[in-house]
Amino acid sequence: MKNMYDVIIVGAGTAGCTVARKLAEQGKKILILEKKNHIAGNCYDTKDEHGMLIHVYGPHIFHTSKENVYEFLSRFTEWYAFRHEVVANVHGQYMPVPFNLHTLKAAYGEERAKELEEKLVCIYGMGTKVPILDLMNHEDADLQMIGKFVYDNIYVYYTMKQWGKKPEEIDPAVTARVPVNISYDNCYFSDKYQGVPLHGFTAMFENMVEHKNITVELGKEAKDMLRVEDSKVLYQGEEFGGDVIFTGPIDEFFDCKYGRLPYRTLDFVFEYYEKDDFQGHSVVNYTVDQDYTRITEYKYLTGQKCKGTTISKEYPSAYTGEAGQIPYYSIANEENHALFAKYKAEVEEIPNFHLLGRLAEYQYYNIDVMVEKAMELAEKLR
């Protein structure tokens, strides 16, 4: 058994499937162990009982300016070109987010917005992005006003819901992701390539792992098949001499011996309506009211032409490790990174054991970054 495979990969999500394909094309024999009953990880999509293609673990949109990543994924899918535009429901009024000059008009009206726009352009320049904290700390009263509006109506309550913390308890890097865009571009992303796989993410990853050198076993909990003894990896009781690439929650692999790494989890409530439209947008953020953070209407995300519409409401909460919960977002702060470092130190004592992915590295990665990191690891293991 120990000589059947060159590499064992734990997890069949973006990271696992990508590195598997690259290594398989190098001639390595790959075994992927996936505890879910499907591949594609949190990008998994499938048709619901009404025939609507839905993203089971919340909306995913591919965007990148990395040519190598786009070219690699394009080998396994055609694309539905989709440029993501998000609006926030602010006291019943839809406003584009991130905050831009269209939002400025929605908030202050045409005449007042024109005055404020002239000041923003004069100080910062058209096409720039200004963190809201810069505006709130500016000496000009009008800029302070804009910053406070964004903070109060788009950022503060949404952040409290999303992270279960007060804004001042969140890593500053999270705050910095909330800019005011001095432009009339409503696009959420600015990357060259944007869209979703034409036939779905699941189909793309199925094509990716369709290779003679790749074996995928679903419904397999890694801890039941892999264990570490004396810095050696055992697979089904036998010492495994190849590489192990682990993409799952590293704390759980070590039985949370130093404590559980904190995450936020999400609960998705799906609803179907026998009408052509629910909200007119792919995603609406609820920034000042409601217990959910956003509603996704999937037909606008995927370009489906079908009767009726399916939405999902997204409720965040603390991850406890209970059955059925999924760790989505690592909570970035000094204490949690120190805890992760203890698990990383354990891994560094195990030869040929590699951490890859959001859960294994306790980092938030966009899809394109994750694909690129997986490609880089495959090259390193060539």
Residue-wise pLDDT tens digits, 8-28: 999 999 999 999 999 999 999
Average pLDDT, the chain: 94
Report how far residue 355's alpha carbon sits from residue 23's, in angstroms, rounded to the nearest whole number.
16
Strands 353-355 and 309-318, how do they pair? unpaired
Residue 159 has pLDDT above 70, yes or no: yes
Q: Give the number of other Cβ atoms within 10 Å of residue 13's Cβ.
A: 24
Q: For residue 41, which of 359, 353, 368 has the smallest C-alpha distance?
A: 359
The predicted-structure confidence for 127-158, as pLDDT tens digits, reads as follows 999 988 889 889 999 999 999 999 889 988 89
Q: Locate all alpha helices (DSSP H) within the chain, ordered by sequence.
A: 14-24, 67-74, 101-108, 110-124, 132-136, 141-150, 156-163, 172-175, 201-209, 222-225, 250-253, 298-302, 334-348, 358-361, 367-380
The predicted-structure confidence for 90-121, as pLDDT tens digits, reads as follows 999 999 999 999 999 999 999 999 999 999 99
Domains of the chain (ranges plus CATH)? Answer: 7-83+195-261+327-380 (3.40.50.720), 86-181 (no CATH), 263-318 (no CATH)
Q: What's the pLDDT at 173?
A: 58
Mean pLDDT across 252-277: 97
Residue 216 has pLDDT above 80, yes or no: yes
Q: What's the pLDDT at 318?
A: 96
Please report which confidence band the pLDDT of residue 246 belongs to, taking 50, 70 and 90 as the band edges: very high
Residue 340 in tokens: 């992760």
Give the dihedral sign, CA 16/21/22/24: positive
Q: What's the pLDDT at 53?
A: 97
Residue 148's φ and ψ, nearest 5 degrees, are -70, -35
Query: Are the C-beta atoms of residues 338 and 284 closer than 8 Å to each other?
Result: no
Please report which confidence band the pLDDT of residue 176 belongs to, taking 50, 70 and 90 as the band edges: low
Residue 85 has pLDDT above 70, yes or no: yes
Alpha-carbon torsion angle 278, 281, 284, 289, nearest 10: -40
Q: What's the pLDDT at 166?
A: 73
Q: Is 270 exposed, middle or buried (0-12, 13-18, 19+ CB in 10 A)?
A: middle
Residue 124 has pLDDT above 80, yes or no: yes
Q: Considering the entire predicted model, what is its pTM?
A: 0.94
Q: Give the number of other Cβ atoms within 10 Å of residue 96's Cβ.
A: 23
Query: Are the C-beta atoms of residues 312 and 267 closer than 8 Å to each other?
Result: no
Pick 275 or 333 by higher pLDDT: 275
Residue 9 in tokens: 């990969």
Q: Look at 33-37, 152-156, 242-246, 262-266 and tell me which has the smallest mean pLDDT.
A: 152-156
Query: Are the C-beta atoms of residues 131 and 178 closer than 8 Å to each other?
Result: yes
Mean pLDDT across 162-187: 78
Q: Is 73 exposed, middle or buried (0-12, 13-18, 19+ CB in 10 A)?
A: buried
Mean pLDDT across 285-289: 95
Q: How does DSSP classify residue 262?
A: P
- Residues of the chain with pLDDT > 90, as a percent, come to 88
Q: What's the pLDDT at 2?
A: 53
Residue 221 in tokens: 């909990």
The predicted-structure confidence for 298-340, as pLDDT tens digits, reads as follows 999 999 998 999 999 999 999 999 988 999 999 988 999 999 9
Up-side HSE of residue 266: CA atoms within 13 Å toward CB? Answer: 19
Residue 170 has pLDDT above 70, yes or no: no
Residue 1 has pLDDT above 60, yes or no: no
